[in-house]
Amino acid sequence: MSKLEVIARAVSNIKHALICGHIMPDGDCLGSVLALALILKQLGKEATVAGPDPVPEIYEFLPGIQGYRAGSPPEGDYDTLIALDCPVAERLGIGYRDLPGRDLTVINIDHHASTNSYGTYRYIDPQAAAVGEIIFDLLQLMKVNISLDVAICLYTAIVTDTGSFQYESTTPDTHRRVARLIEIGVPVSRINVLLYEEKSRMCQLLLSAALKTLSFSNCGQVAWMIVTRDMLRDTGAKDEHTEGIVNYARSIKGVEVGLLFHELPDGKYKISFRSKKTVDVNRLAAYFGGGGHLRAAGCEISGNINIIEKEVVAAAVCAAGGAGL
């Protein structure tokens, strides 16, 4: 029995699952959670989708999103917790991260190179471009009918986590899975307009303000921007509008590492790391207590922004220089 068949067997035994993604949910996490919930219901099972954080506005079009419960874990007679896209249980967030220790079957499906694996059943494939790809394969294996609603959820998961098929995680099979989803009827242009062309005015003003803070290391290989609480207040933008801004630092000629320092409501700084070709930003972020992927990672640091900035930039410059030697 393949590892994915073990997961399929475990899913078939579910009566009522609590399905969760990670804190500050993204397209892959939400698309995968909702697709799996729709399938469980289709199979006559109960499924509750929940997480500590609210759903970003751009994902409100996802089929089944109205069932998503933001906040503390909703009460329920769950027999199984399905954790998607969470390399460590902490990523489930407050109220959820301790659930794997309870009297529950835990199914952990992820595509991060996990350092602290957990769960009764685990399926970790770091080669998968998105958890949405794994769910697609799981549904094929389970021989369930993929409805248009499920296809939209999985398409969204894959298109967002591959950066519109631009990241190196994108494989021939990524494109073949997406071909199948479009055949089921996914309206490609409409979904992409909803994802990328329904930005708020404040979002563009925040981008303008952030670009004004663009700074470069002497070597030109590291570029960074800062988003402060003042900038968020002045532009009327929300914290979720910082999403994607870091890419404008990385996408400059000669830049290997792009950084965004985002001041959170509690005064901490969230630092996003993006690299282009050589630097392992997962390691870089891990040094500061965070993590993620080879080319996209993040961490949170408390303290004085001037010191944090110097420290993180220095580490990034060294990582970029070291990689070039």
List residues near a copy of itself by CB under 8 A: 159, 163-168, 170-176, 178-180, 182-183, 187-190, 192-193, 196-201, 203-205, 207-209, 211-212, 214, 216, 248, 250-253, 276-277, 295
Residue 114's closest CA among 134, 90, 146, 94? 90
Edge to edge, the sheet with strand 222-227 lists 215-216, 222-227, 257-263, 269-275, 296-301, 291-292
Nearest 10 degrees: CA dihedral of 233, 264, 225, 217? 150
Cα angle 294-22-276, degrees, rounded to a multiple of 5: 20
Closest CB 297 distance from a copy of itself, rounded Å: 16
Given the complex with a copy of itself, which of 59 and 78 has the nearer CB atom? Answer: 59
Q: What is the DSSP letter of 59?
A: G
Closest CB 248 distance from a copy of itself, rounded Å: 6
The dihedral through the CA atoms of 318, 248, 177, 91 has a sign that is positive
Closest CB 209 distance from a copy of itself, rounded Å: 8
Given the complex with a copy of itself, which of 104 and 317 has the nearer CB atom? Answer: 317
Taking residue 142's Cβ as centre, other Cβ atoms within 10 Å add up to 16
Closest CB 133 distance from a copy of itself, rounded Å: 13
CB 178 within 8 A of CB 156: no
Taking residue 25's Cβ as centre, other Cβ atoms within 10 Å add up to 24
Given the complex with a copy of itself, which of 56 and 67 has the nearer CB atom? Answer: 56
Closest CB 210 distance from a copy of itself, rounded Å: 8
Given the complex with a copy of itself, which of 173 and 311 has the nearer CB atom? Answer: 173
Q: Give the phi and the psi of residue 94 in degrees, each rounded to 5.
A: -55, 135
Closest CB 130 distance from a copy of itself, rounded Å: 14
